[in-house]
Amino acid sequence: DAGVTQSPTHLIKTRGQQVTLRCSPKSGHDTVSWYQQALGQGPQFIFQYYEEEERQRGNFPDRFSGHQFPNYSSELNVNALLLGDSALYLCASHWGGLGETQYFGPGTRLLVL
């Protein structure tokens, strides 16, 4: 049973560039959430996708956008990168029911220079 996978594992970009991160949910899961974890902090919720639509969004600017595909995989796009976007980006998946546990992938470490 494959867990949540993310790619790439590491990424280095420069300010102003755009980046796309990818996530494949755990088998049987239909909902994907993205979190940003700055160094030394807890993860912060970016948004959640269910049935290919953004279901909920955290306090992040429109530079952060996403997409969910029919196979439930998801992408996180960040435009006009800022130094402050440097973080670990975590993807979590679960089945869309109430109270379900979110399972996390290994994350993508993004460094913006």
Cβ distance to another protein smaller for residue 4 or 78:
4
Q: Which two tokens stand for residue 33?
A: 């959430």
Q: Which of 59, 84, 65, 61 is nearest to 20 (CA)?
A: 65
Q: Which stretch binds another protein (CB under 8 A): 16-24, 29-37, 62-70, 77-85?
A: 29-37
> In angstroms, what CA-CA distances link 55 with 18, 47, 49, 58, 64?
23, 7, 6, 11, 15
- Rule CB under 8 A: choose which of 23, 81, 87, 92 binds another protein: 92
SS3 assignment, position 83: helix
- Rule CB under 8 A: choose which of 13, 22, 55, 67 binds another protein: 55
- Residues of the shown chain interacting with another protein in the complex, contacts defined by CB under 8 A: 31, 33, 35, 40-45, 48, 55-56, 58, 88, 90, 92, 94, 96, 98-107, 109
